[in-house]
Amino acid sequence: MEGKGFFLGGLLLFSIAAISTAKNSPKGSPKLFVFGDSYVDTGNWQRNVRGPWKQPYGKTIFPGKPNGRASDGRVLTDHIESPTPYQLRNTSKNTQQGLNFALGGSGVFPSWKNDTLTVQIDRFEQLLKENVYSRPCDLEYSSSVALVSSGSNDYSFYSAAKKGSKDGLPAFTKGLVKQLAADLHRINRLGVKKVVVATLPVIGCLPIHVIPPNSYQNCDEESNKNARIHNKLLLKAVKKLNTDDGKKSTFVVLDLYNAMVSAIDQFRQGAANTEYKNPLQPCCSKIVDFICSAEGVCPNPKSSFFFDLTHPSDNGWNAIFSFLQCSLNKDLKV
């Protein structure tokens, strides 16, 4: 989830290893298409404004300088298969391995950025019309995977617009999940055979929402409850998509929420040692308009779970991924 600056997104749970099955596919075939917000954006943020292309983002861990990621290092996508960002497509030789259309600050609906999930899919469709990729009937293309992480910014934008009021939230959530499901279906109709969608993260435990403010002690359980309601509706929507498709695993859910809960709990246990900080306390102590200032970075970012008010640090993402990798089904095939 993001503030006004940028953000951050039976049934089968998705195995991260499944995305990498494309490593065994013929050279030149697309591997992964990414859509969503800053949790998966690896370089589409505007370079000429404050944000992840400016220090201290990317400087302390990976790759040693700002690189468009909303972290001090890697984000979720980097732990899977990190395709070329859309805005760098004309300068890269690796676009046939897929593209990352995600943009920090974007949402399912217009939010902090006007580039909605629909707009990102429009860009993907345009590239297909230009024959940048093999046609959907091509076996190599149809074995590719889409990863979608979107929705957190919609809720932060809604809350800001409503000045914190919950009036109308249930109807908003239903409408949001309905549109998200339509977007997932559209990606599949464009020829991507497997569509993976992340649940909302544990929004109430993001430093921006902790209770009391700036205490970094307790998660906002009301926000977490709202996230769980969204995720439950998303699971139901994905089940219907699979039923309508006639297959059990075209659309799959990546349980980011519970992976993050487990990672934070694990981090709390380690916080008894001086090596680790309180997991809800961000590394960055000086934040202006929701964006970390270079002079506010903690001495040891590796000891932090969150880098700024809304984004996990490189260390945080490592911990989250460890639970995604271990808990999800193995050998899910595209």
Active site residues: 38, 308, 311
Per the structure block, which two tokens stand in for 265? 């709990």
Nearest C-alpha neighbor of 226 from the set 176, 282, 161: 176
Query: For residues 128 and 187, is the Cβ–Cβ distance under 8 A?
Result: no
Nearest C-alpha neighbor of 23 from the set 80, 99, 78: 80
User: Which residues have CB under 8 Å from 45's CB, separation 6+?
Assistant: 6, 38, 51, 52, 53, 68, 70, 103, 104, 105
Dihedrals phi, psi of 219, to nearest 5 degrees: -75, 155
Task: Provide, for the chain, the percentages of residues in helix, strand and coil under a 3-state DSSP scheme, each rounded to the nearest 5.
Answer: 40, 10, 50
Buried b (16+ CB within 10 A) or exposed e, 8-45: bbeebbbbbebbebbeebeeebbbbbbbbbbbbbbbbb
Output the DSSP codes for 226-283: HHHHHHHHHHHHHHHHHHHHT-SSSEEEE-HHHHHHHHHHHHHHHTTSTTS--TTS-S
**Three-state SS at 14:** coil
Give whole-number Cα distances, 8 to 224, 252, 272, 296, in Å: 16, 21, 28, 20
Query: For residues 238 and 259, is the Cβ–Cβ distance under 8 A?
Result: no
| In the block, residue with structure tokens 């970390």 | 292
Dihedrals phi, psi of 271, to nearest 5 degrees: -70, -10
Q: Specify the amino acid at residue 220.
A: D
